[in-house]
Amino acid sequence: MTDYIATLSAAFMLLSVSAALAQEAGGLDKIVPEGAEVERVATGFTFTEGPAWDGKRHLYFSDIPENVIKRVDESGNVGVFVEPSEKSNGLMFDAEGYLIACRHRGRDVVRISPEGEVEVLAASYNGKRLNSPNDCIIAADGAIYFTDPHYGLEGRPREQEVEGVYRIAPDGSLTRVIDDMTRPNGLFISPDGKTLYVADSQEKKLRAYTLLPDGSATAGRDFAVFETEERGSPDGMTLDAEGNIYCTDGGGVWVFDPQGKHLGTIKTPEVPANCTFGGADRKTLYITARTSVYRIRLLIPGLR
């Protein structure tokens, strides 16, 4: 019934949702086309997260409370990929077309085949269960970085002494690369592969870490601070081909240049949780925001 309602809603609600773009002088004019609007692609969900473009024609996303991974095509048709999903959150496709998923209930990071077969990549560190893996990014060498806050524990005992960021090496070994954050959440890697950006939801900051040749990270620095009274917190993020950072928070998707200057905010009708680029030219920014999935066409393609 949920899928039927979502599909029906998508068919009748593929409409433009007017959303003002909050800009500083000369901010988003080179990123957002004049007159561009945020458009609702599909709705009728509970809490959407983890958008991932499959490189073809579908956006995959998690509906965390409903315990399902769904997909929606560019026409708004919605289908189920995996159910139950062990309350997956962040998703990303690897080079072979498998879906990497961070799972709250499973307390693990898994690799899901196109047929839905699941392989566990990481579930414990130093003999103790992970907290609740939240979001992930894949480096050029195939290594997977993921955040591990406590959000999805749902009352279960916490075993890790910190809420950290981990790296799954191409050989499958797991190391903790960041341990100086309060609530690590969304993350992404710069175009040159040398900087790892991580959002701290509690501290309302975006942190930047230099990645070393062995995949480890140096001490981080504050890259940007989110100052808003609107409901929300720094969450998921993505980057475009020019290194601009798009991070969700109160009011919409905040856009920063590679030096950390806030260029402006793409306003959304609902509080956003995450975003990613998709479409044949990767110039469509997809946004998961509470009960819906939105999109807006931009001038710069997303970073592959």
Q: Is the pLDDT of residue 252 over 70?
A: yes
- What is the identity of the amino acid at 99? L
Examine residue 94 and state whether it is found in any structural domain, yes or no: yes
Task: Assess contact for 80 and 42: CB atoms under 8 A.
Answer: no
Examine residue 33 and state whether it is found in any structural domain, yes or no: yes
Please state the φ and ψ torsions of residue 152, each to the nearest 5 degrees.
Answer: -95, 15
Provide the pLDDT confidence category of residue 229 given band limits of 50, 70 and 90. confident
Examine residue 302 and state whether it is found in any structural domain, yes or no: no
What is the bridge-based pairing of β-strands 195-200 and 184-189? antiparallel
Average pLDDT value for residue range 18-35:
70
Say how far apart CA 139 and CA 145 lie, in whole Å. 8
| CA trace torsion 110, 113, 114, 115 (10° rounding) | -110
Examine residue 232 and state whether it is found in any structural domain, yes or no: yes
Helical (H) or strand (E) element with 189: strand 184-189
Provide the pLDDT confidence category of residue 28 given band limits of 50, 70 and 90. very high
**Residue range 100-149, pLDDT digits in tens:** 999 999 999 999 999 999 999 999 999 999 999 999 999 999 999 999 99
Examine residue 303 and state whether it is found in any structural domain, yes or no: no
The DSSP symbol for 299 reads S
Mean pLDDT of the chain: 92
Q: How many structural domains is the chain composed of?
A: 1
Examine residue 18 and state whether it is found in any structural domain, yes or no: yes
**Residue range 206-227, pLDDT digits in tens:** 999 999 999 999 989 999 999 9
| Closest to 65 (Cα-Cα) out of 39, 81, 88 | 88
Q: Is the pLDDT of residue 19 over 60?
A: no
**Residue range 257-290, pLDDT digits in tens:** 999 999 999 999 999 999 999 999 999 999 999 9
Q: Where are the alpha helices (DSSP H) in 71-206?
A: none
Q: Considering the entire predicted model, what is its pTM?
A: 0.92
What's the domain range around 237? Answer: 2-297
Provide the pLDDT confidence category of residue 304 given band limits of 50, 70 and 90. confident
pLDDT of residue 279: 97
Examine residue 304 and state whether it is found in any structural domain, yes or no: no
Percent of the chain with pLDDT over 90: 89
- Count, residues in the chain: 304
Say how far apart CA 281 and CA 268 lie, in whole Å. 22
Helical (H) or strand (E) element with 8: helix 2-12
Percent of the chain with pLDDT over 70: 91
In CATH, what number is assigned to the domain containing residue 84?
2.120.10.30
